[in-house]
Amino acid sequence: MASNDSGGRLGADFFTPGSSSFSEFLAAHRPELLPTRRPFPDGVRAAPDRFPHGTTVLALAYRDGVMIAGDRRATMGNMIAQRDLEKVHPADDHTAVAFAGTVGLALDMVKLYQVELKHFEKIEGIPMTFGAKATRLAGMIRQNLGQAMQGLAVVPLLAGYDIGARDGGRGRIFGFDVAGGAYEKSDFHAEGSGSPYARGALKKLFHAGMTRREAALAALQALYDAADDDSATGGPDINRRIFPIVSVITGEGFERLPEPETEELSREMVEQRRSRPDGPNAAP
């Protein structure tokens, strides 16, 4: 956001006291830069096969924190638009956001959200609480309601490690609707067109106190089930070596599982599916 003043100096807007919200600063001074501005006139709706859409993403709590994962496929109607899309992104040291929906708007919203959290911490001198992080993201989604009603919805999934929780640090998960409603989920949740199948798999496989390896295998099994029944969700692509993104957030911070680890677990899961195409049974 360069100033119109000569010499490239920052304008007075940057030195005027205001709120700790960067998105509010943009809305006041450069609203055209917000990804939530309405792109079409009233009554015009986006064609569903003209913009890439991404699915499926999920999160689950495990022994050390919370895990968040997503497949890699983006579709435009019945076409595969991208095979290696990254739908899981760190928001700050202890928070991650994944998305389903219109890819271009979602990526811009994720970037704005990352700046929002960093801006707040610099202005206030302390990190935002996890509940406030969910509220801020809900506000951004609500600002996108006009575009969602025109067919350009973005539905994120928020996961993080709440270091300020009264009962000690723990993993937390929030889901949202297109109107900006925020809903805290216990244990696990999924978003996107493949989410009913992913949630069904997680309901079968989840148990309290899962290790990182158990949680990762459950996440991969859930994404595999989603891809098995939803054409917009991509499973592990062994030939191209494209595998789901799996990340964890613990008291130590955000960590994306290394590609070799994700590949090893994905290959193990696919091999298991040769003898059990419908996946493992629920634990007794």
| DSSP, residue by residue, 166-199 | TTSSEEEEEEE-TT--EEEESSEEEESTTHHHHH
Q: Please tell me which residue in 36, 55, 56, 75 is annotated as part of the active site.
A: 55
Evaluate if residue 283 carries a pLDDT over 80: no
How many other CB atoms sit within 10 Å of the CB of residue 98? Answer: 28
pLDDT band at 13 (very low <50, low <70, confident <90, very high): low
Residue 178: which of 159, 196, 152 has the closest Cα? Answer: 152
The residue to which tokens 């940057």 are assigned: 14
pLDDT digits (tens, 9 = 90+) for 50-89: 788 899 999 999 999 999 999 999 999 889 999 999 999 9
Going by C-beta distance under 8 Å and a sequence separation of 6 or more, which residues neighbour residue 9?
3
279 near 222, Cβ under 8 Å?
no
**Minimal CA–CA distance to 104: which of 92, 87, 121, 80?**
87
| pLDDT, the chain, mean | 87
129 catalytic residue (yes or no): no
Q: Which two tokens stand for residue 179?
A: 């109107």
Backbone angles phi, psi at 125, to 5 degrees: 85, 0
Three-class secondary structure of residue 121 per DSSP: helix
Rounded to whole angstroms, the Cα distance separating 233 from 192 reads: 9
Average the pLDDT over 236-243 and give the result: 96
